[in-house]
Amino acid sequence: ETTTSYEVDADLIHMVGDRLFQARGGVEVRQETLQSYGDSLEFKQDIGFLTLFDNARILSQDTVSGDTLDVRGDTITMNLPDNQIDEIEALGRAHLLGNDIEMRAPIIRLAFVEEELERVFAVRRAVTPTGRSEEQVVSSADQAQPEAFAEEFHLTGDSIEAYLPEGGLERVFSAGTALGVSSARDSLNTPATEEFLRD
C-alpha cells in the first residue's frame, strides 16, 4: 500500500488520533505536485475529506504535461479517497486558472478521473438534494454570474460546464441567460460552426 506524506506549516496544529487533523494560522500544505493554502484547515483522514477555510488556494501540477492548475475561493474542499484527488470544490469568489481555461463564479467544482481533470462546473449557488438552494454558502455580495474565458471566447451564464479529457479543453457549455462573445469574430463564421453561432 502506497503511503502519501504531507508537510504542513501552521501556527497551530491539532490532531485527534488518526481520524482528524486541524491546523490554524497561515496554513501551508505541500505534497509532491500539490500545494494548498488557507487561514485554517480541517482534514478528516478517515474519509479523506479536506477543507481549507478563508483565503483558500490550491496549486496542482500535472506531472505528465507540466500544466499548473490554480484554484482559489473563500473555502475549498477536496475529496481524497485513497489519497487521490477525486473532486475539488471552491465556494465564494471562486476562481480557476488553468492552461486552457479560466473561470470565475460563486461556486466552481472540478471532477477528476485518476487524478486527471475531466470536467469543471461553475454555478451561481449550490443545490441540495431537496432542490433548495444553499444560499447561505454564498454571500449576497457574491452572486455574480459565472464566466469563462477559453482561447478567444468569453462565456457567461447561470451555469457553465467544461470538458477537458486527457488534459485538453474539448468543449464548453453555457446555460441559463447564456452569452458568448468572441474576440476573433471571424472564427465563428466557418462551416464547422453551428448555425445559431454564425452571422
What type of residue is 148? A
Residue 6 has pLDDT above 90, yes or no: no
Domain ranges of the chain: 7-197
Does 1.10.3430.10 match the CATH number of domain 7-197? Answer: no
Nearest Cα neighbor of 77 from 104, 43, 102, 47 is 43
Residue 194: pLDDT band by 50, 70, 90 thresholds?
very low
The share of the chain scoring above pLDDT 90, in percent, equals 51
Query: Model pTM greater than 0.85?
Result: no
**Phi, psi (5° rounding) for residue 33?**
-95, 10
Answer whether residue 71 shows pLDDT above 90.
Answer: yes
* Contact (CB, 8 A) for 158 and 141: no
Separation CA 171–CA 118 (nearest Å): 11
Task: Report how far apart, in Å, the C-alpha atoms of 47 and of each of 44, 82, 111, 150 are.
Answer: 6, 9, 18, 35
